[in-house]
């Protein structure tokens, strides 16, 4: 340990002085006393120690005074001192003058080892890397000349990135190895932070330079285009181009005014504003709509009817309505009157019927007959009201609704728009799309239809709207009231044979690359397919079976090119065994089973109702997943039979048991009042032991007095009765007028009997008493 000496102390609170540093220190009275005392000594040294608040420092730096003078621009004085070496501070001692004197021991420099040199080299590398980033070349030369590890470490006293606490730690660490390790950690962390900050600053600077460059280039490009009178293909980034496009476009006056207002907003908006993009999208949408473009309707009524007949068999109601629409427009044009357009002139029809009867494909035929564009809008599963009316422009990614998009796709203001599956529209928290359709499909309102996105009046009065639906009950009543209802109730067997012969078979032959000379199918085979292989109101399954037969025929022709004729006996080889067989006789072979008729979303169908009794308390048990209305019909039927037991020939004691009424196909929900007469007949059959005639079907609602009330779907039910092989059908008297809609060939095959009293139906539907014994024998 070095010999202790006494030196005056100068406390510094502003700077931490390390050995080798030359720093100026502003002098107050205490500091001046220390400087004066040091200058009076032979060595001229003083101790510079950091001011540590309430803690007495243990280490300081022995320094010499280089110069004392006045501070430039001020009245105070300062001393320039040079740090010499570390010193350990001992006890205070007495000395001359007003200065504080202490006893100090100079800390000797440690021996330099290989580890010390390695750490010094690593620290110098980091220090030089940081100095190079700052381009401090003079300091770099100074650092390169340093070879003493301790002197190199003490240069950190000049580092601005180190805190006073860190510098004080260096002063109080005599071991050079510990100092170098601490400096390496601090310098590496700071260098990493500097590199990240520099990269971020560079990215920001380059991004701003790119934006400024693009802005200047766009301004120059706009000026050049303006001078040359040329514009880009889309008028991108050029408001003047949009103004020219709007002024040149054929727009209604109010639409033009609104578009020019938006162009003005676009001209005032900056290129960086997102509003500019929204305005451009809106203007593009408005300019793409065919505001004043209409197609000329065909005036040849005969040709229009021929087109409709060529594309579809039957469907006379729809065809008549379209021809009537054309006839009115043609007559107004001939007499010089304004062509129908405006309030109340639109044509809106809903085609309701089971699947596979040609509702959707009919839309394209109507468009061809009218000579108009055709566009289809699928509504199945749509739950958002904005899908119909569009989104407001305040939303990001807003678009016009499907109706406006359909007009744009069609390219004219008078297309045929098919709203497919309108009964499948749903509603949830986003709104009710069916409610949004109220204005679209109202001929009294749709001449001023307003889409939320466009916010402009759009005239839809010249559009022919065709909607399709399977179940009318699923359409809101307010919406159904705005449309003309056209029922398509399915096809008869003769219709199916004609459709298969004229439409389905040629199409499937063509898809299988066959000709009529190579494969023919007889009408008997087609009738057999319609009767025993399909039980559908439409012809979709029929066409699938024909496609299957054509595929098998193609396979056989590949092995044997002999022409093929598919007749009724050949169907098993092509289609397999028949899927449907007449079952009415088997189902009604026991008392208590009656055949009713029903209507589902797939068309008409037969419905078997079974009644039985067991020992137990009198009561009624119902099974078959019945709805509330159907349950009430069963209770009414039982009450009527009990009240009129003597008239119906029923032993009253037979009903004082547990009565069970079951409707098979229990997995299918069933509801409605039209099975009332069938339930009465089944209960009477069960109570009397007389079977219901196997060729009889019936439908009608019944009252407690036995009156037969009218029901709906007569045509579909009679078509189902014909398909099931029934011969006699009882219907309510008040439905007799509905027989006008039933095809003549169906009425020729069925004995349709309108009835007013259910007792008459029971009397005619049950087998005569004693007939069962004869049949059993």
**Residues involved in catalysis:** 674, 717
Q: Is 357 annotated to bind ligand?
A: yes
Q: How many CB atoms lie within 10 A of CB 740?
A: 8
Q: How far apart are CA 447 and CA 598, in angstroms?
A: 41
The radius of gyration computed from the CA coordinates of the chain, to the nearest angstrom, equals 50
To the question of whether residue 353 is assigned a binding role by annotation, the answer is yes
Q: Containing H/E element for 619?
A: strand 619-623
Q: Tell me whether residue 342 is annotated as binding.
A: no
Return the closest-CA partner of residue 103 out of 6, 3, 2, 1. Answer: 6
Residue 156 CB partners (closer than 8 Å, separation 6+)? 18, 162, 167, 170, 183
Q: Can you name the residues that pair with 456 across neighbouring β-strands?
A: none
Q: Give me 634's structure tokens.
A: 């069963």
Does 24 show up as a binding residue in the annotation? no
Give the Cβ contact number of residue 267 at 10 Å. 14
The 3-state DSSP composition of the chain as helix, strand, coil percent (nearest 5) reads 45, 20, 35
Give the whole-angstrom CA distance, residue 500 versus residue 20.
109
Determine how β-strand 658-662 pairs with β-strand 696-698.
unpaired
Question: Has 274 been labeled as part of a binding site?
Answer: no
For 189, residues 6+ apart whose C-beta sits below 8 A from its C-beta are none
Q: Find out whether 110 is annotated in a ligand binding site.
A: no
From the CB of residue 333, how many other CB atoms can be counted at a distance below 10 Å?
15
- Sequence length of the chain is 777
Q: At 287, list the tokens.
A: 């300019």
CA distance 492 to 720: 9
Q: Where are the beta strands (DSSP E) in 71-138?
A: 77-93, 101-106
CA–CA dist 289, 303 (Å, integer): 31
**How many alpha carbons lie under 13 Å from residue 573 in its C-beta half-sphere?**
11
Q: Rounded to whole angstroms, how far apart are CA atoms 106 and 84?
A: 10
673 contacts 699 by C-beta, under 8 angstroms = no
Enumerate the known binding-site residues for ATP: 353-360
Enumerate the known binding-site residues: 353-360
């Amino acid at each position: 340990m070095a010999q202790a000496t006494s030196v005056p102390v100068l406390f510094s609170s502003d700077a931490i002085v390390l050995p080798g540093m030359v720093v100026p220190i502003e002098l107050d009275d205490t500091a001046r006393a220390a400087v004066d005392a040091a200058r009076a000594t032979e060595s001229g040294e003083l101790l510079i120690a950091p001011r540590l608040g309430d803690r007495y420092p243990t280490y300081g730096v022995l320094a010499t005074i280089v110069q004392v003078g006045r501070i430039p621009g001020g009245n105070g004085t300062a001393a320039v001192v040079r740090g010499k070496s570390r010193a350990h501070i001992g006890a205070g001692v007495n000395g001359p003058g007003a200065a504080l004197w202490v006893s100090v021991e100079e800390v000797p420099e440690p021996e330099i080892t290989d580890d010390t040199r390695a750490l010094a080299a690593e620290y110098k590398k980091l220090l030089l890397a940081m100095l190079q980033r700052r381009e401090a070349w003079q300091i770099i030369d100074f650092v390169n000349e340093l070879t003493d590890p301790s002197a190199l470490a003490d240069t950190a006293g000049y580092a601005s990135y180190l805190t006073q606490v860190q510098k004080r730690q260096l002063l109080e660490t005599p071991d050079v190895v510990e100092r170098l390790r601490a400096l390496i950690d601090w310098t590496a962390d700071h260098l990493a932070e500097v590199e990240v900050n520099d990269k971020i600053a560079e990215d920001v600077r380059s991004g701003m330079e790119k934006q400024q460059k693009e802005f200047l280039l766009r301004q120059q490009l706009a000026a050049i285009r303006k001078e040359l009178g040329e514009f880009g293909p889309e008028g991108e980034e050029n408001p003047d181009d949009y103004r020219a496009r709007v002024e040149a476009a054929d727009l209604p006056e109010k639409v033009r005014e609104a578009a020019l207002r938006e162009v003005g907003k676009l001209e005032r908006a900056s290129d960086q504003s997102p509003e500019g993009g929204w305005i451009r999208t809106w203007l593009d949408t408005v300019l793409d709509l065919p505001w004043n473009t209409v197609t000329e309707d065909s005036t040849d009524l005969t040709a229009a009817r021929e087109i409709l007949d060529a594309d579809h068999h039957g469907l006379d109601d729809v065809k008549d309505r379209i021809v009537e629409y054309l006839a009115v427009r043609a007559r107004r044009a001939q007499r010089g009157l304004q062509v129908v357009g405006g309030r109340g002139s639109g044509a809106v029809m809903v085609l309701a019927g089971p699947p596979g009867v040609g509702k959707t494909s009919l839309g394209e035929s109507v468009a061809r007959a009218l000579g108009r564009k055709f566009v289809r809008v699928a509504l199945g599963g749509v739950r958002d009201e904005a899908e119909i009316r569009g989104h407001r422009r305040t939303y990001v990614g807003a678009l016009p609704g499907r109706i406006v998009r359909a007009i744009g796709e069609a390219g004219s203001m008078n297309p045929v728009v098919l709203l497919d599956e309108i009964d499948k529209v749903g509603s949830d928290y986003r709104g009710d799309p069916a409610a949004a359709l109220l204005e679209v499909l109202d001929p009294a309102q749709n001449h001023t239809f307003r889409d939320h996105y466009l916010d402009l009046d759009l005239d839809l009065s010249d559009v022919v709207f065709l909607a399709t639906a399977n179940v009318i009950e699923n359409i809101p009543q307010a919406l159904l009231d705005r449309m003309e209802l056209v029922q398509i109730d399915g096809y008869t067997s003769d219709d199916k044979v004609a459709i298969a012969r004229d439409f389905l078979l040629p199409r499937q032959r063509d898809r299988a690359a066959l000709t009529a000379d190579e494969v023919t199918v007889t009408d008997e085979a087609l009738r057999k397919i319609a009767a025993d292989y399909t039980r559908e109101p439409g012809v979709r399954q029929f066409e699938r079976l024909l496609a299957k037969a054509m595929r098998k025929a193609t396979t056989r022709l590949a092995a044997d090119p002999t022409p093929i004729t598919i007749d009724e006996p050949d169907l098993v080889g092509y289609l397999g065994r028949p899927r449907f067989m007449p079952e009415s006789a088997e189902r009604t072979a026991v008392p208590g089973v009656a055949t009713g008729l029903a209507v589902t979303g797939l068309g008409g169908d037969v419905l078997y109702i079974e009644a039985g009794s067991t020992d137990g308390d009198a009561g009624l048990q119902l099974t078959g997943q019945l709805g509330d209305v159907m349950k009430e019909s069963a209770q009414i039927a039982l009450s009527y039979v009990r009240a009129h037991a003597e008239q119906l020939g029923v032993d009253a004691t037979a009903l004082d048991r547990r009565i069970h009424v079951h409707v098979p196909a229990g997995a299918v929900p069933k509801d409605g009042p039209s099975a009332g007469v069938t339930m009465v007949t089944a209960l009477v059959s069960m109570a009397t032991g007389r079977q219901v005639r196997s060729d009889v079907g019936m439908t009608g609602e019944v009252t407690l007095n036995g009156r037969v009330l009218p029901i709906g779907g007569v045509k579909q039910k009679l078509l189902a009765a014909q398909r099931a092989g029934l011969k006699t059908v009882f219907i309510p008297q008040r439905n007799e007028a509905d027989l006008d809609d039933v095809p003549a060939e169906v009425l020729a095959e069925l004995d349709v009997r309108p009835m007013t009293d259910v007792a008459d139906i029971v009397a005619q539907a049950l087998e005569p008493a004693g007939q069962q014994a004869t049949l059993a024998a």
